[in-house]
Amino acid sequence: MQSLIIHSPILAIAIPLLAAFLTPLIGKFSSKARDIVVIVALAVTEFLVLILARDIYASGLHVYTLGALSPTLATPENFMIPVRIVLEVDAMSVFMGIISATVALAAAIYSISFMKRETGGTKFYTLLLLLTVGMIGLEFTGDLFNMFIFLEILSISGAALAGFRIRYADAIEGGFKYLVISAIGALVVLFAVGIFYGQYNLLNIAALAKVMQYTSLDQLALVLLIMAFGMKLASVPMHMWAPDTYSVAPAGTTPMIYVASQACLYALIRICFTLYGVTMNTSTIGWIIIVLGVLSMFIGVTVAVKQTDIKRLMAYHAISQSGYMLLGIGVGIAVLADPVALAAYGKTAISGGIFHIVNNALYKGLLFLTAEALFFSLGTRDLNKMGGMARNMKYTTIFFIIGALAISGIPPFNGFTSKLMIYESVYQFSPLLAVIAMLVSILTLASFTKAFQSAFTGPALPQYNNVKEVPKPMLIGMGILAVLIVFFSLFPNLVVNTIVNPATDSLINQAGYISSVMGGL
């Protein structure tokens, strides 16, 4: 058991990767066996991430060096710097790891019955597992170049998944747009990595953080990294790919691609807090991220109210919710150099932003799945053509209500808890920002009222008399997320104290992250 925990960082990446290339082989013989392999691989990944998380919350950060005599030895014997591939998993990484693994599992279960209608199912699962690899790798790596590689794995598999239903012209277009912005974003990241290597001859995040000078080249690299990851997480005004991609991605993968963009938010957070920390001009960078966040919140939600395509509507909400996270994180960065303000409200702001990531992954995932359930049953995404679906699809309606109330921040749902944390901490930083955040929450409710009214209520439309509830695996996939939402809603204190606060503390504790890799050097 102990050795399983030690090796779990790499196993959590290796097992889905192995399964990804095993599925085509098994799929040749039996599609049932293939489905089982996929589910088992993701369940094992989830289990590994969970036991790793338990150990990290108990005893602190894990370092895993590939190819070293002992996995915990980050720097080779005669070197002063870490030259090997190092995985570094702290409370923040594993927090994101749990989210990715859970959503991947729910999405895979949901996809099983969906894929019975599609051809090429085996390739679908390969891509789905590769996307999981990309996310977990991006979250667990301690090395900037590996961050680029996992970012590319995530982008390629995500783009192929988004454009998976090649019989639709718009699906290809959505996938292509995602691929183009990902390719350019990743190249910009690689250029920034090159800038670091040129200056410091280092690629390891902890080693770089130790010698970071914040020269003008570092400033350029920081801007490139913030903007590249900002584009991947769809912050306004670099968000326009998101509705195109999310609206065409097949069932189950939309939450996955969305969580993949949250993994890019993690990369952004990691770079700001750990790589630069207090060496950068925290108030400038903080305000840049706050402005991105406020723009995302406001423009995202106002455009969402206008949408009549249910998945585009939800995609714009995804953008708007990312704005909350950026706002919370940005306030935390702006006061990072000021210990008094950090203790007074900065930590709450960061915790609120981080807590919002997990809440949002859950309810946004659920809402995307309900939207796909509607598409599955009705064959249209157009809200103008829907009506009275609560009569035919009772469980989907209940799941939609849960998700809509949670995303609008109606107490006691989990969205309210994290939004409250953001409101009250941001209010102490700048009252105007908190007012905007509340306004956005109201508009969110308005737009989901619109979606609910036009899709689920109203008289039974004659053309949908024969529409039935979606198959059981799709309901189970939605049910997992719904149960988690209810759990997070009823016990917010437990969740915040067990998984969110350790993540915040480990983010702020830059010295601890550096010393765990560099040791006494």
Partner 1 sequence: MSALSFWSPLVLLFSFVLLSLVVLIFRNRGEKRYKKGTAQTKIFLAGEEEPDPEKLHVKAHNMYWGFFEALKHYYGPTMKAHTGIINDYLLWFVSLIALTALIVFISG
Partner 2 sequence: MTESLFNIPFLAIAALIVISLYIIITQKNLIKLVMGIVILESAVNFFLVSLGYRSGGATPIYTNAPEKLMVLPVPQALTLTSIVIGVSVTALMLSMIILIYRHTGDIDAEKSRRLKG
* Least distance from partner 2 to the Cβ atom of residue 484, Å: 31
Rank residues 309 and 469 by Cβ distance to partner 2 and give the closer one.
309
Rank residues 55 and 309 by Cβ distance to partner 1 and give the closer one.
309
Residue 414 structure tokens: 């989990």
SS3 of residue 143 by DSSP = strand
Fill in the DSSP letter of residue 344: I
- CA 256 to CA 136: how far, in whole Å? 12
Pick from 39, 51, 183, 398 the residue near partner 2 by CB under 8 A.
183
- CA 489 to CA 493: how far, in whole Å? 9
* Least distance from partner 1 to the Cβ atom of residue 184, Å: 6
* Least distance from partner 1 to the Cβ atom of residue 236, Å: 9
> Position of tokens 């990944």?
45
Rank residues 34 and 311 by Cβ distance to partner 2 and give the closer one.
311
- Per CB under 8 A, does 180 bind partner 1? yes
* Least distance from partner 1 to the Cβ atom of residue 360, Å: 17
- CA 16 to CA 495: how far, in whole Å? 27
Beta-carbon contacts of residue 248 (< 8 Å; ≥ 6 apart): 162, 163, 165, 168, 170, 171, 173, 174, 175, 311
The entry of partner 2, partner 1, none that residue 190 binds, CB within 5 to 8 Å by partner kind:
partner 2
Distances (CA, A) of 353 to 187, 269, 323: 28, 11, 9
262 to 301: interface string for partner 1, x by CB under 8 A:
-------------------x--xx--x----------x--
Indicate the length of the chain as a whole number. Answer: 521
Among the listed residues 285, 306, 266, 142, the one whose alpha carbon sits nearest the alpha carbon of residue 218: 285
* Least distance from partner 1 to the Cβ atom of residue 366, Å: 18
Q: How many CA atoms lie within 13 A of 180 on its CB side?
A: 12
- CA 143 to CA 196: how far, in whole Å? 12
Neighbours of 521 (CB within 10 A): 14
Pick the stretch among 197-205, 271-279, 461-469, 509-517 that binds partner 2 (CB under 8 A). 197-205
The entry of partner 1, partner 2, none that residue 206 binds, CB within 5 to 8 Å by partner kind:
none
- CA 95 to CA 45: how far, in whole Å? 14
- Per CB under 8 A, does 462 bind partner 1? yes
- Per CB under 8 A, does 348 bind partner 1? yes
Rank residues 93 and 447 by Cβ distance to partner 1 and give the closer one.
447
Pick from 262, 296, 454, 509 the residue near partner 1 by CB under 8 A.
454
Residue 233 structure tokens: 């997480």
Pick from 305, 438, 445, 521 the residue near partner 1 by CB under 8 A.
305
> ∠53-35-477 over CA atoms, to 5°?
60
190-195 contacts at long range (C-beta below 8 A, 24 or more positions apart): 190/148, 191/224, 192/220, 192/221, 192/222, 192/224, 192/225, 192/228, 193/144, 193/145, 193/147, 193/148, 195/220, 195/221, 195/224
Pick from 210, 312, 347, 381 the residue near partner 2 by CB under 8 A.
312
* Least distance from partner 2 to the Cβ atom of residue 240, Å: 9
Residue 480 structure tokens: 């997992």
The entry of partner 1, partner 2, none that residue 411 binds, CB within 5 to 8 Å by partner kind:
partner 1
SS3 of residue 405 by DSSP = helix
- CA 238 to CA 392: how far, in whole Å? 38
* Least distance from partner 2 to the Cβ atom of residue 74, Å: 16
Distances (CA, A) of 74 to 90, 144, 520: 15, 15, 11
The entry of partner 1, partner 2, none that residue 22 binds, CB within 5 to 8 Å by partner kind:
none
Among the listed residues 310, 251, 246, the one whose alpha carbon sits nearest the alpha carbon of residue 475: 251
Beta-carbon contacts of residue 289 (< 8 Å; ≥ 6 apart): 226, 272, 326, 329, 330, 333
- Per CB under 8 A, does 40 bind partner 1? no
Pick the stretch among 130-138, 196-204, 401-409, 461-469 that binds partner 2 (CB under 8 A). 196-204
- Per CB under 8 A, does 307 bind partner 2? yes
Rank residues 64 and 196 by Cβ distance to partner 2 and give the closer one.
196
Binders of partner 1 in range 501-520 (CB under 8 A):
none
Among the listed residues 357, 363, 362, 331, the one whose alpha carbon sits nearest the alpha carbon of residue 496: 357
Pick the stretch among 120-128, 150-158, 331-339, 411-419 that binds partner 1 (CB under 8 A). 411-419
- CA 81 to CA 152: how far, in whole Å? 26
- Per CB under 8 A, does 382 bind partner 2? no
Contact residues toward partner 1 (CB under 8 A) are 176-177, 180-181, 184-185, 188, 216, 219-220, 222-224, 226-227, 231, 237-238, 240-241, 244, 281, 284-285, 288, 299, 302-303, 305-306, 308, 348, 352, 383-384, 386-388, 411-412, 417, 420-421, 424-425, 446, 450-451, 453-454, 458-462, 489-493, 496-497
- Residues of this chain that interact with partner 2 (CB under 8 A) are 83, 145, 148-149, 152, 155-156, 159-160, 163, 166, 169-170, 172-177, 179-180, 183-184, 186-187, 190-191, 193-194, 197-198, 201, 203, 243-244, 247-248, 306-307, 312
